[in-house]
Amino acid sequence: MEIIDMPTSSTENSVQIKVSKIDKSRIEEVDFNNIPFGKIFSDHMFVVDYKDGQWNDPEIRPFGNLSLSPAISALHYGQAIFEGLKAYKDGSGNVSVFRPLDNHTRFNSSAKRMCMPTLPEGLFMDALNQLLTLDREWVPPVDGCALYIRPVMFATTAEIKVKTSEEFKFAIMTCPVGPYYPKPVRVVIETHFARAMEGGIGYAKAAGNYGAALYPAQQAQERGYDQLIWTDSKEHKYIEESGTMNIMFVIDGKLHTPSLETNTILEGITRDSVIRIAESKGIEVLERRILVEELVDYCRSGECTEAFGVGTAATLASIATIGYNGEDFDLPPIGDDSISTILMDELSNIRTGKIRDEYGWMMPIS
């Protein structure tokens, strides 16, 4: 294992990171034209520990297992959060990351809600820059593919006691990925189980949110659906989000999406990007509380012509069918002139450098 020096980025408050390089890359084993989502990991990962009130010994090292006590707090009391972002390659082979500062901001928001230490911007950005500089060849050069980046933090105090942990581990791992949903999805509106409640942690990207959602999602899949559309926890009257993504509907030519005012919906970075692109193209966007019965009526009458999910993993996933109380509503096929197609093409072209990034969303890897 080779230990090398790498330059820090120009980020304010840059830090020195130890880098231990893998002896032999595994990249030759990967078929970039056939990549399963989340199963193939790049050569290296970033790891840093929080102890005695500060972050210590940041290191990039070969991807591999961690040695942990079975008594760590995260395993017993759920102090764990994560993020998801992607890196893309343009036609010249340059690598850029999509809106990493926004992911850093959201990560720290989740950390505060879960009684965890925030991560300094300089540490986050330098770790990201150096890790992707080292593993830049893992960014797929294939349309529709990207390098998925997973920052994660969890409590590591080895103590069986319900209290805030004093020690934490932060890591970044990356994996080349293809489409999360390779075809339009079938979703069903959930009317019994709840994902989040007001005053809870629905707006945080906390691991427990996803663990609690697995059972109802599994039940939906057994009935032939790919995912759920979550509704509010009080009355199940209002649309909130889908299992792995925020959700949007095209109704009468306008883009409708649930508002974030209840703090029960994840503030999606892809969601915000799609809204801003839509507004730039003169598409009216309505962020509002959407009644379940209202949406069902629009589907029944044909006024809802498109529905799609938006998220880092899913990107923009077209919805083919919406189920509700035993009735399925099939939406029209998506065409080249569909609003979702126009938005997806614009977003993809920005990310891959095919058009000018007027928003300043892409961070080049030096």
**Residue range 2-178, CATH number:** 3.30.470.10
Phi then psi for 16, rounded to 5 degrees? -90, 125
Q: Select from 281, 242, 274, 327 the least CA-distant residue to 98.
A: 274
CA distances from 276 to 104, 222, 358 (A): 20, 36, 11
Which class would CATH give 185-351? alpha beta
Q: b vs e for 259-292, b when ≥16 Cβ sit within 10 Å of the residue's Cβ?
A: ebebbbbbbbbbbebbbebbeeeebebeeeebeb
Sign of dihedral through CA atoms 75, 131, 100, 214?
negative
Phi then psi for 90, rounded to 5 degrees? -90, -175
| pLDDT tens for the chain, residues 1 to 366 | 555 555 444 445 567 999 999 999 999 999 999 999 999 999 999 999 999 999 999 999 999 999 999 999 999 999 999 999 999 999 999 999 999 999 999 999 999 999 999 999 999 999 999 999 999 999 999 889 999 999 999 999 999 999 999 999 999 999 999 999 989 999 999 999 999 999 999 999 999 999 999 999 999 999 999 999 999 999 999 999 998 899 999 999 999 999 999 999 999 999 999 999 999 999 999 999 999 999 999 999 999 999 999 999 999 999 999 999 999 999 999 999 999 999 999 999 999 999 999 999 999 998
CATH 3.20.10.10 range(s) for the chain read: 185-351
CATH 3.30.470.10 range(s) for the chain read: 2-178
